[in-house]
Structure formats: C-alpha cells, structure tokens
Structure 1
C-alpha cells in the first residue's frame, strides 16, 4: 500500500516536464521502493482537465501484468500525484538511441513482442484499442515489457452499445502517423477495428529490429502512398538489401548506417513472416493478437528472458536530461539530477 502523504516520498530525479505535468523518479520511504510520480497541476483548461481525468479513469480499470497502470493517486495542494511502477530500463526508444543503436537482437524483440501481445489481448477483449503502439510507449524492466500512454485509446462501447467499427481523425497525431495503419490514414466510412494495433506492432518490430523509426525523414505523402499500396516496411538485413542499392546509406537517428554494417545482420524466416502478417494491408486478413501469440517466431522465448538479454546493461546508461514540451510549475519538489535518468512516456 502507498501513502497519500507527499512527505513519505523522496523525489530523486525529474524525467520529463510536459504539457500536462512533470514526471519524477521517487522513493517511497515506507517500503524503500522506487516509483515514478506524475505531478499534474489541477488548474488546467477544462478540455485538458477532462482529457486527464478520462485517461486516468480508464488506465485505472486495467489490471494486467504488461500494462503500466496507476498503482496509487492522491491530491496535495493544487496538484494531483499519480504513482506508477518504476521500470528501470525506461522505454525501448531510449534503449535504441543509447545502447542498441543498430537494433535489438531478434530474441529480445520476441520477448518484448510476446508481452505486448499479452497486453493487447487483454485490452482488445475489454473492447479497447490502444491506438499508439510504438517503441516509445513500451517500458522495460528486468522481468517484463509493459505498454503505457493511453492518450489515443478508443473504445467500441458507446452509450451502452458495442460498435463494430471505430472512426477518428488523424488531426493532431502527426508524430504517430508513421506507425498508423492504412485504414486509419484512408479515413473512409468503413472505419477501422482493433487490428490497427497489430499493424502498429508490425511497424514497431521493424523499428526495434532496424534501430530507427519507420519512414524517418520521408514525406508524409510518400508514407501514405506506400501504406495504401500495401508496400511493406521491410526488415533490414543482408537478405533485404537489393543489389542495386550498392553502397546506399540508410538514415538512422541522424547518422548513416552503411551497407557493410547491414549485411552482418540476419533475421529468421519466422520473424519475416510475423512482420508480414502484422503489416497485411487488409485488416480482415491481418492476424489478431490472440492468433499471433501462437506464431513460431515467439518459440525462441522459451529458454531465455529479458533479464538475460539485458544483463550487461546498467540502469544508469542514459544521460541526465529533462524533456520539455511546455513549462509546468514544479513547486514543492526538490530534485537530485545526479542519479540515473531514463526517458519516460506518459
């Protein structure tokens, strides 16, 4: 059990200063347990406050091992404090930027994907769609992978009735478009289903395997056309590099990855097939999360674990930074930025 007394928490470091609040690493003194605290100013514009309340209410109803849910919340003065479990390796995006700069090993990807599929099965069975699967929202510790950030979630339940399809606009979601399914980009009257999470998972697999964001540096129009045509964002290894590319350089986090480096990478046929099943253009033909979890690609998880794959990585590998979107007051909190600082996504 956690306390609602702010004095029972020792704030260690500030991870993020965002548009809705600030995120801190803290230690709960009563049990000496590290947690993550999101501090939200209650004096927000009504539309922002309604969005925050709606998100908190929905996150708290999720009870699953692979969902980074709120474990406690309380109000102190003009702030709300949301307590989350501490995931020592942060998110997959920061691991790609600092450790696995040319991509995760295939076995680690399989372990992560297995946990994410377990979370998606749970979410979809409760008539929700996450809507924003990507490396940045996948958090890791030595035991598991968890998904966070339900800012783009949708539900099939409307006024007590379940709809067959969902509808929504891509307005204000520019940062998510590279992972977005073609049926969402198409904006047709046919709508879309929970299969959009599967497509995003396929793009995320490419992101984790290649070491850089999909369609990074390309025009949005080109990305849209490629997806509507059903052209897959291929995994990049020695089998996927065409001869005519020669010494073509691939853009990766503002750096260049040469063909010589890519030819050293080899992914299994099972991984290729798994990604293709996720990225099938037709949502009807796209596999569900419950079916994908039976795929042979995940068999390699049996004799290993996330801790085994990350055993040589220190939890303090990230540099001390604070990501600032919009300034939010952070009164009443003293931070020590000399401790480990890992990027979070809330």
Structure 2
C-alpha cells in the first residue's frame, strides 16, 4: 500500500451506526483553493449502500481543517436537496507523514458553469432553476451561501430519463466554505465570497442575507448567457474604482440585448441595488423565465464616498483568481 497522495488507499467508515464502508484510491488533483485541494478518487471496494465508482475528495491538513469540517456539517444538513452536491462522508488519513481531513463528494464530470461560454436559452433556464431550488432549500434552513458564482455551480451527469430530453447534466450548488447562519450577525464582520459576484451591501457593509445570494444568482445567470464576468473592468483599474462601482454607484451589470424578454425581466428582479426589493428564491421559481421547466426537474434535482475596509487594499481584478483576504476572491474579467 502506497503512502503517497496518489495511490493512497484508506478504509472509510462514513457513519458508525449505518456501517457503510468503502475503500478508495486517491487520483489526480483537479482543483485547489484556500481550504486545500480536490482530487478524483476511485472506489475500489464497498459494503452496504452503493457508491459511485468515481468520487471527488476535498482535502485539508487536519491542523487547518475547521472550514472543511463546518462545510461537511452543512452538506449533511442540506443533503435532502437534489440540487446541492452530495457528500458521502468524511475521514482522516495519514499521507506522506501528514494528517489530512477529507470529505467525500459527488463527482461533477461536467466541471463547473465557469467553463461554459454563452449557453443556449433552454440550458440557462434549466440550470437557473436548479440553483434556485438549492438556494430556496438553504435559505429555508436559515443559511446564506455567500459565494454563489459559476465556479461553485457544478455539473453532474443526469439520469437517462432526463438525457433523453436533451438536458444531459444537472447543475448543483457546491462549496459552502463561506456560508453563514442568517442569524449570525457578529460585530467583527468580514467579507465573504467573490468581489465581482458580490452584492452591493456585501461590499460596503459585509452584510449577508438571502437577498445577497439572489444578486449573485443574477450575476451567475448573466455569465451563463454571455460567458463573461458580470462587471467590465478596464485594464489598470484601481481597487477603489471597482468597489465603488459595485457597492456605491447607481451602475448595474449590463443585461445583453440578445437575452429573451423573460430573461431580461428575471435579471431585473435579481439585480436591484436595494436588497429588500429583490425577489426571493421562491418568487423567482414562479417567474415566467422558468415556466418552460416542468415540475419533474425539481424532483430530480445615492453617490457618496465610502471608506472601504483595509482587506480590499491591493485588489487587482485582472488576476485569474486571487485571495485578498482568507475568504475574498475575484476572478478574471473576460472582455
């Protein structure tokens, strides 16, 4: 048995009471983040309930695994929703003399929405409904995702029944490392999420309520339609200019003329500066933009200066993906 990260095998007991066991083999790394890394893993042997032959393993050093442990708890809480990435369990392994904490996840063979450029209208509607089903579930259970963006919406292979309808993939909300309880309003607030998808109130006041997820959803739908970032950032733009535009100005992300009438109206219900005027997830699920998506899918699945927090200083929006703070990211703008 190899002790290297690649080829390392470990017996995982997901829940003692259910006695579900499997042996998995870590494969190549497919992603990295502030938490650690994500690898593909092959399930070599299992007893009890069936697991897919390929899973994804999200890993952090045990000494720095608090956020991953909390994410596992939330995934367990949200497990009844078919449009949230499923977690099979967790464990601790020792690899190359390092203790690692792992959570075993559903593998998204289609990658993420960030990889898709300008999707057809019917697919945009389909994925939008999936994200809304997930957000409705999360909000009803008292939480805010805080980092909705195309990179955190993963595409999982759909059932044969849905593939016959030409869908092929189901969008599932993932990465709850920035999520918070709605009632958790600490005095020492910190920015969570990704700047270019963040709601104005999150930029200025670090406020996170369900309404901020709805703004981010609107930005994500824009990305699906255009294949570009919701905000155009000129080369050499200063951090303060970008943050002012999103958080303080009256400017809104551009809605493309090619979008359908229903899509334009849907986006206008999400991209409202005043959070209290935005539609809720449940209201948006009834919007005409989603009328063509049947119920069977759910079964599947003022101009003034502001002083910005120190954590935004040094912001460079043209970087591919960067951390300004432990939970602040911005992604490259595609012009």
TM-score by length of 1: 0.67
Count the aligned residue pairs.
260
CA contact (8 A) 1:210 1:235 kept: no
Q: Which residue of 2 aligns with 1:180?
A: 198
Q: 1:167 to 1:148 in 2, by over 3 A?
A: farther
SS at match of 1:275: helix
CA distance in 1, matches of 2:104, 2:243: 38
Q: Which residue of 2 aligns with 1:247?
A: none
Shift of 1:75: 1.9
The alignment status of 1:75 with 2:92, answered yes or no, reads yes
Q: Which residue of 1 aligns with 2:279?
A: 287
The alignment status of 1:109 with 2:124, answered yes or no, reads yes
CA contact (8 A) 2:144 2:181 kept: yes
The list of structure 1 runs, each at least 4 consecutive aligned residues, that deviate by more than 6 angstroms after superposition, is: 323-326
1:49 is matched with which residue: 65, 78, 81? 65
TM-score by length of 2: 0.69
CA contact (8 A) 2:26 2:40 kept: yes
Shift of 1:324: 11
Shift of 1:275: 0.4
Shift of 1:229: 3.1
1:235 is matched with which residue: 246, 251, 255? 255
CA distance in 2, matches of 1:40, 1:233: 36
Q: Which residue of 1 aligns with 2:6?
A: none
Shift of 1:19: 4.2
SS at match of 1:215: coil
CA distance in 2, matches of 1:304, 1:156: 30
- Cα RMSD (Å) of the superposition? 3.1
Shift of 1:120: 0.5
More strand by share: 2
Structure 2 unaligned residues grouped into runs of 5+: 1-9, 14-20, 46-50, 159-169, 298-319, 324-335
CA distance in 1, matches of 2:92, 2:129: 36
CA distance in 1, matches of 2:54, 2:34: 24
SS at match of 2:111: coil
Q: Which residue of 2 aligns with 1:314?
A: none
Higher relative CO (Cα under 8 Å, sequence separation at least 6) belongs to: 1
Shift of 1:34: 1.1
